[in-house]
Chain A
Amino acid sequence: MTLTQSTAVEVDTPESTKNRPRRARESLRAAPWLAPGLILIIGVVLFPAGYMIYTSTRTISKAGVDRGPAGAANYETLFALPDLPGVLVRTLVWVVAVVIGTVCVSLLLAHFLNKAFPGRRFVRLMLIIPWAASVLMTTMIVYYMFEPNYGLVNNFLMQLSQHFDFLSAFSNADYGFTKRMPAAFIIAIFVAIFVSLPFTTYTLLAGYQAIPRETLEAACVDKASRWQTYWHVTLPQLRPALMAASIINIINVYNSYPILKVMTGSMPGFDADTTTTMMFKILQTNQRADVAAALSVVNFVIVIAVISVYMWLVKPLKSVED
């Protein structure tokens, strides 16, 4: 990180060689204002990231004692896990399904909530409930509603499945929808979409605010159809909001733990896990901090890659440059 920092300084101050003492004084004056934040970021974000990478090269006992260097052994253990390919595929399905589902539904919701109707403010307020509520608690109630014996929704679907055969492919009287794959995973995807909708919809609504009215009026004057207006005028201008929302969603969904912990956590093995929930299981159930660290490093690299794409495509720092 120090490297990135110093290069960034060079880049945004090309004249630094000329006024080095003055510029150093300016940085020094800024120090007391920024130092607390820097200390916190270094101590609780950067250091643990480094320590995690270090841990992934050590042998850690179940009691947490460092038993010396391990070389690449933890990574070898990790990549030799027969469940890993399935987990990777499931992670991909999880992220792609949830993010695409969220973005599509949110586009519809934002389009709708941008229109005028009585009670709009109330609907918008209702939309924030899943955002404010703990994801864990929301998932608990969904799990309860789908419970094989006493779940309300499960009960309803079981009655429906007597008339529609395709539903019984996902459930049976003994297991319902939450006790086996793939039904439990599919419901988890719906829960993840549900809890991601508020943030995404609000971001898109903020994007609507940024669209100049004149462009829509011009489309109206040009007699563009509603669909043409949306596709050629509205959507392109929503692009920054759409990109920001998508990438933040990708990271959130990739890192999501509580939903799958509740929905599929009681299933044995890694049959219903993503890389994130698998890492928690290795850390907590198997108590292998070293292998968990190796998997965390893999997760970390993927997240950093996504963040880099974000920085490159959306350029969020542009608004503070001048």
Chain B
Amino acid sequence: MSSKRLPDGTLKSSRYTTVSDPGSVTARVVMAVVLVVVFLVPYLVMVLSSFKSLDEVNRVPPTLLPQTWHLDNYVAMWGVSETPLPHNLLSTIIIAGAATLLTLAVALPAAYYTAKFRFPGRLAFLFLVLMTQMLQPAVLVTGLFREFLALGGAGQLWSMILINAAFNMSFGTWIMHSFFANVPKEVDESARLDGASSWAILWRINMPLVWPGIVTAVIFTFVAAWNEFAASVVILSGAPQNQPLSVALFSFVGQYQTKWQYVFGVSVVAIVPVLILFAIIEKKLVAGLTAGAIK
């Protein structure tokens, strides 16, 4: 890849190749180190503090590194009296997992059909999807609370599965829509001429080409549902067992003393898996979120 240096130092190639001025590279590396430190420090403190004893985590003056490493915090936190943590983890997995499956089941056909076919109401549907994307559970939480109370869904996992699926299907629809739309029409048409059915065209021809979009939609939905807080805290307020980790975390915050070592232990357990998932789809995250606004 021939990457010429542009006026502002931009290289079109993602690979670091030719930069004439070694001084500016040094400055950039220094800047990069500063950035990494700024973004990493809070999470480093989080990890380090999760290994401290209750006494040390609340000590004046504070310590940075644990004096004794309490690896056992990661065992002890599952048996604390404040919140049924194993249940909370299970609830988080069930809510995020089921919401992701439901989102996929709902968004995939819609994305496929709106990308491939023109029909009256198509733009209206996409408009509705876009509107939903901009709305968040927080702004509708009173309505959601009243609705699920009336339906007997207060404190129930299925309420949160439905809510997470509904508010994330727009991202899934958009991202998969753009992948389906990029499959050349000729490919579909030649398959149709060969006598393939609509289902065969979707499964055999399109799926292999759009799977990166599907992976992105799946991971994004899973992470969003995993971290959801505003609706869970209201809908699941009366059911400690069904609360996800994000809500359960508050049980460790006491009026006089907070068991910070568990707050951070739970946080590390909650963050690491989704961070790995997010890193996998890093490059495609923007595409669905800004929904066609930038091309």
Can you list 26 A-B pairs, Cβ within 8 angstroms, ordered by A? Answer: A32-B109, A37-B129, A52-B146, A114-B10, A117-B28, A123-B36, A126-B35, A128-B275, A133-B227, A133-B267, A138-B42, A149-B60, A202-B286, A205-B286, A208-B10, A210-B294, A234-B8, A240-B293, A257-B138, A280-B141, A289-B142, A296-B140, A307-B131, A316-B291, A316-B293, A317-B123
CA distance A40 to B106 in the complex (A): 8
Within 8 A of B (CB), among A31-75: 32-34, 36-38, 40-41, 43-45, 47-53, 55, 60, 64
CA distance A279 to B10 in the complex (A): 46
- Count of interface residues, chain A, beta-carbon cutoff 8 Å: 128
Asked whether, in the complex, the Cβ of A135 is within 8 Å of the Cβ of B142, the reply is: no
Q: Which of B67-75, B189-197, B209-217, B277-285 contacts A (4 or more CB under 8 A)?
A: B277-285
Interface flag for B204 (CB, 8 Å)? no
CA distance A208 to B8 in the complex (A): 12
Interface flag for A115 (CB, 8 Å)? yes
State the Cβ distance, B168 to closest chain A Cβ, in Å. Answer: 10
Q: Which single residue of chain B is at the shortest CB-CB distance from A44?
A: B166
Asked whether, in the complex, the Cβ of B143 is within 8 Å of the Cβ of A207, the reply is: no
CA distance A121 to B58 in the complex (A): 37
Given contacts A44-B167, A213-B6, A226-B7, 10 further A-B contacts (CB under 8 A): A5-B124, A36-B109, A40-B165, A136-B249, A199-B285, A206-B294, A241-B294, A244-B293, A256-B138, A303-B134
Asked whether, in the complex, the Cβ of A64 is within 8 Å of the Cβ of B42, the reply is: no
Chain A residues, Cβ within 8 Å of B36: 122-123, 126
A interface residue numbers (CB < 8 A to B): 1, 4-6, 8-9, 12-13, 16, 23-24, 26-27, 29-30, 32-34, 36-38, 40-41, 43-45, 47-53, 55, 60, 64, 109, 111-112, 114-138, 140-142, 144-145, 149-152, 155, 199, 202-203, 205-208, 210, 213, 216-217, 219-220, 224, 226, 229-230, 234, 240-241, 243-245, 248, 251-252, 255-258, 276, 279-280, 283-284, 289, 292-293, 296, 299-300, 303, 306-307, 310-311, 314, 316-322
Query: Shortest 9 CB-CB distances between A and B: which pairs?
Result: A52-B143, A48-B143, A319-B292, A44-B166, A33-B113, A132-B278, A244-B293, A117-B28, A8-B124
Asked whether, in the complex, the Cβ of A37 is within 8 Å of the Cβ of B140, the reply is: no
CA distance A102 to B21 in the complex (A): 31
Given contacts A134-B229, A137-B249, A229 and B8 within 8 Å (CB-CB): yes
- Count of interface residues, chain B, beta-carbon cutoff 8 Å: 114
Interface flag for B80 (CB, 8 Å)? no
Chain A residues, Cβ within 8 Å of B129: 37, 41
Q: Which single residue of chain A is at the shortest CB-CB distance from B294?
A: A241
Given contacts A116-B11, A150-B59, A293 and B289 within 8 Å (CB-CB): no
Asked whether, in the complex, the Cβ of B62 is within 8 Å of the Cβ of A128, the reply is: no
CA distance A318 to B292 in the complex (A): 8
Chain A residues, Cβ within 8 Å of B294: 203, 206-207, 210, 240-241, 244
Given contacts A30-B113, A126-B40, A55 and B143 within 8 Å (CB-CB): yes
Chain A residues, Cβ within 8 Å of B121: 5, 8-9, 27, 30
Interface flag for B139 (CB, 8 Å)? yes
Count: A-B pairs, CB below 8 Å: 360
Max chain B Cβ within 10 angstroms of own Cβ: one of A24, A119, A136: A136
Kindly identify which residue among B11, B58, B120, B147 contacts A150, using a CB–CB cutoff of 8 Å: B58
Chain B residues, Cβ within 8 Å of A321: 123
Asked whether, in the complex, the Cβ of A119 is within 8 Å of the Cβ of B29, the reply is: yes
Kindly identify which residue among B123, B267, B295 contacts A140, using a CB–CB cutoff of 8 Å: B267
Chain B residues, Cβ within 8 Å of A137: 46, 246, 249, 267, 270-271
Q: Which single residue of chain B is at the shortest CB-CB distance from A279?
A: B142
Kindly identify which residue among A33, A123, A226, A229 contacts B110, using a CB–CB cutoff of 8 Å: A33
Asked whether, in the complex, the Cβ of B260 is within 8 Å of the Cβ of A144, the reply is: yes
Asked whether, in the complex, the Cβ of A37 is within 8 Å of the Cβ of B119, the reply is: no
Q: What is the predominant secondary structure among interface residues of chain B facing chain A?
A: helix
Chain B 71-112, CB-CB to A under 8 Å as 1, else 0, gives 000000000000000000000000000000010011101101
Chain B residues, Cβ within 8 Å of A9: 120-121, 124
Chain A residues, Cβ within 8 Å of B246: 134, 136-137, 258
CA distance A33 to B147 in the complex (A): 26
Chain A residues, Cβ within 8 Å of B278: 128, 131-132
Max chain B Cβ within 10 angstroms of own Cβ: one of A8, A52, A117: A117
CA distance A174 to B165 in the complex (A): 45
CA distance A116 to B141 in the complex (A): 45
CA distance A253 to B105 in the complex (A): 30
Chain A residues, Cβ within 8 Å of B120: 9, 12-13, 16, 23-24, 26-27
Given contacts A115-B9, A141-B43, A314 and B275 within 8 Å (CB-CB): no
CA distance A318 to B16 in the complex (A): 35
Asked whether, in the complex, the Cβ of A241 is within 8 Å of the Cβ of B162, the reply is: no
Chain A residues, Cβ within 8 Å of B270: 134, 137
Chain B residues, Cβ within 8 Å of A109: 35
Given contacts A51-B146, A119-B29, A230-B8, A300 and B113 within 8 Å (CB-CB): no
Asked whether, in the complex, the Cβ of B142 is within 8 Å of the Cβ of A317, the reply is: no
Given contacts A117-B32, A145-B42, A37 and B107 within 8 Å (CB-CB): yes
Asked whether, in the complex, the Cβ of A117 is within 8 Å of the Cβ of B122, the reply is: no
Interface flag for B17 (CB, 8 Å)? yes
Chain B residues, Cβ within 8 Å of A40: 102, 106, 162, 165-166, 169
